[in-house]
């Protein structure tokens, strides 16, 4: 990444959550095996009309199994090892759509399809680097948009506010490692996301900073210095990662890793949430949510299942 950035050579890259696997492709617009779309830039085929009714069902984790994982996280929080931990689960799903179909039909800001491995349709930016400006948009807080007065409820929820504040503070610190003049330019704004089930409201903030000169020479150093992404791990990171490994047991793989596209001028990257993986011919939807000492297990269970959707309308 450092070399390609210095040479102003376009590239596509992805790296998994544990930083043990990844890929980088130079001139990715010249190939069609790995499909990607980063806010309209990419090799995505022309979006086609949906020809048949979409079939989509899930076989969710039982509440008891989820609670066992939740309790491990909650104990870590109560003991002070972490004050925010992102807990994720893996849910078997069935659908009549292929990965290329899901990629083509999904309405998402960031999309990536790695054949035989996964398809991702993420709404969440990790960081963008444009000139000397670096920005990040952590996303924390989700609610069903059909709930009366949903926006007011989510913005005034104590637990959601505490969780969001923690992530904003963590990302401010992460940006301060590589940039100066770090500030929160937008705090807790709401986006509406349309899905195959119901619309949801998602709460995000924007944090910006100013990089040193010649940042294109060390794009890789900047990005990898901030991994794993704070919004899908927690704080403080080292101790929180230990809790995640104990509670989840199953490695996340590329889920909650990041991917991005550099066009020779700007680098834009995404957190790989809203993610379906293929294993032994079956599809699994990965989803998760932030847990704090104030979290209620039943509410968190409902939230993590509400994130199992396709952004297809």
User: 189 with 225, same domain?
Assistant: no
pLDDT digits (tens), the chain, 313 positions: 999 999 999 999 999 999 999 999 999 999 999 999 999 999 988 777 777 789 999 999 999 999 999 999 999 999 999 999 999 999 999 999 999 999 999 999 999 999 999 999 999 999 999 999 999 999 888 888 999 999 999 999 888 898 899 899 999 999 998 899 999 999 999 999 888 778 889 999 999 999 977 677 899 999 999 999 988 999 889 999 999 999 998 999 999 999 999 999 999 999 999 999 999 999 999 999 999 998 999 999 999 999 999 998 6
Residues 2, 53 within the same domain: yes
What lies within 8 Å, CB to CB, of 32 at 6+ separation is 43
Please tell me whether residues 111 and 194 are part of one structural domain: no
User: In this structure, are 10 and 149 located in the same domain?
Assistant: no
Could you tell me if residue 312 is inside a domain?
no
Q: Please report whether residue 127 resides in a domain.
A: yes
The pTM for the full model equals 0.92
| Dihedral of the alpha carbons of 270, 256, 80, 226, in degrees to the nearest 10 | -40
Q: Look up the domain containing 262 and give its range.
A: 1-132+212-307
Q: How many distinct structural domains can be found in the chain?
A: 2
128 and 146 fall within a common domain: no
Same domain, residue pair 202 and 232: no
Please tell me whether residues 236 and 126 are part of one structural domain. Answer: yes
* Tally: H helices and E strands in the chain: 8, 18
Q: Same domain, yes or no, for 94 and 221?
A: yes
């Amino acid at each position: 990444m450092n070399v390609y950035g210095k040479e102003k050579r376009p590239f596509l890259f992805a790296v998994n959550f544990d930083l043990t696997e990844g890929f980088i492709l130079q001139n990715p617009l010249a190939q069609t095996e790995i499909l990607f779309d980063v806010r309209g830039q990419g090799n995505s085929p022309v979006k086609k009309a949906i020809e048949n009714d979409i079939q989509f069902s899930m076989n969710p984790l039982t509440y008891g199994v989820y609670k066992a994982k939740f309790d491990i996280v909650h104990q870590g929080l109560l003991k002070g090892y972490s004050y925010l931990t992102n807990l994720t689960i893996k849910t078997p799903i069935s659908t009549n759509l292929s990965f290329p179909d899901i990629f083509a039909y999904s309405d998402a800001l960031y999309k990536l399809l790695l054949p035989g491995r996964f398809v991702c349709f993420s709404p969440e930016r990790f960081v963008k680097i444009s000139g000397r400006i670096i920005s990040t948009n952590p996303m924390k807080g989700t609610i069903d948009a059909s709930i009366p007065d949903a926006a007011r409820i989510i913005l005034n929820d104590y637990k959601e506010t505490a969780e969001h504040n923690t992530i904003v503070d963590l990302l401010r610190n992460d940006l301060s490692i590589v940039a100066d003049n770090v500030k929160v330019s937008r705090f807790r704004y709401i986006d509406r996301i349309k899905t195959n089930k119901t619309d949801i409201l998602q709460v995000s903030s924007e944090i910006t900073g100013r990089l040193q000169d010649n940042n294109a020479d060390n794009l890789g150093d900047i990005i990898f210095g901030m991994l794993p992404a704070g919004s899908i791990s927690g704080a403080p990171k080292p101790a929180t990662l230990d809790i995640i490994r104990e509670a989840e047991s199953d490695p996340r793989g590329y889920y909650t890793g990041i991917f991005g596209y550099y066009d020779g001028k700007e680098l834009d990257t995404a957190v790989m949430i809203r993610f379906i993986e293929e294993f032994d011919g079956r599809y699994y939807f990965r989803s998760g949510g932030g847990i704090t000492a104030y979290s209620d297990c039943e509410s968190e269970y409902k939230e993590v299942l509400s994130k199992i959707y396709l952004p297809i309308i």
